[in-house]
Amino acid sequence: MDAISQRYLMCRPTYFAVDYAINPWMDPTAPVDAALAIRQWETLRQVYLDLGHTVEEIDPLPGLPDMVFAANGGTVIDGRALAVQFRDPQRADEAPAYRAWFEAAGFEMHDPKHVNEGEGDILLAGGLLLAGTGFRTAHASHAQLQEIFGYPVVTLQLVDPRFYHLDTALTVLDERTVAYLPEAFSPGSQAALRRLFPDAVLATAADAEVLGLNAVSDGRHVVLPAQATNLAAALRDRGYETIGVDLSELLKAGGGPKCCTLRLRQGKAGK
Ligand code: ARG
């Protein structure tokens, strides 16, 4: 399997904290080691650089502790960027900051008509746009995705509040296949996933409970939470190289490697 060199956007967790609870992982009374969070994030960034990827950074803003989760900043495909609209008011001010970054970086901007939380719920997999709904991204936004990006959209219904974003329940491994936790999806969505990806890697509950599916693949290397040892073994059996990273502090906000990483997909001309 060939690794594809990728371009990512990340946001240093300078102001990271767990001050509010908008998903079941977040407990504002539990201690968070902010300095450790930064070191863990720096390690993740260095893993990408060592793999030959490019990492761009957006400046973190005070008062936005979840801004580190850059995957929620937008959806960027073929040089077009769809800005986000968060469900929760606590994260609302992140949206214009990310929008301004995309615009300055030269992407063709599109504004959301409905709630959508970017690559947290919208994943490009082999020419299909897999779009989650049920907790954050509104089903109504899925039609807009297809109009903007021109890829067929597959709606996937999330049913377990612990796996509130699609990227906590499913990982795109390469052009052909994905890994996912079946029980995180409704019966109809499970059936659709079986038809689309008969060779998928099926994760276990234990893998998903450490956010093991919140992984980043370049087609060959899969960067995933170090605690997801079953999933890592299953991926190695399928020929992927796995790289475990410990993001224990960010996990307290319900985030893992993928949440911290927004893929920037350029247009054909490279701009
Ligand atoms: N605390 C953040 C929230 O609940 C975590 C976001 C994680 N991001 C992701 N792409 N799953 O919104």
DSSP result, 141-180: HHHHHHHHH-S-EEEEEB--GGG-SGGGTEEE-SSS-EEE
DSSP result, 119-148: GGTEEEETTEEEEEESSSS-TTHHHHHHHH
CATH of 7-263, one of 3.40.50.620, 3.30.9.10, 3.75.10.10, 3.40.640.10: 3.75.10.10
User: Would you say 27 and 17 are in contact if contact means Cβ atoms under 8 Å apart?
Assistant: no
Ligand 1 environment, Cβ below 6 A: 22-23, 26, 66, 69, 71-72, 91, 120, 165, 167-168, 253-255, 259
Chain centre to alpha carbon of residue 88: 17
The per-residue pLDDT for 1 is: 63
Single out the residue of 255, 232, 106, 96 nearest to residue 173, CA to CA.
232
Distance 69 CA to ligand 1 centre (A): 6
Q: Is the pLDDT of residue 17 over 80?
A: yes
Mutational pocket test of ligand 1: of 27, 72, 123, 213, the residue with most ligand atoms within 8 Å of the beta carbon: 72
Residues 189-207 have pLDDT tens digits of 999 999 999 999 999 999 9
What mean pLDDT is reported for the chain?
96
Instruction: Determine the atom of ligand 1 nearest the C-alpha atom of 120.
Output: 10
The pair phi, psi for residue 75, each rounded to 5°, is -130, 125
Is 11 one of the annotated active-site residues of the chain?
no
**pLDDT confidence bin for 268, thresholds 50/70/90:** very low
The per-residue pLDDT for 271 is: 41
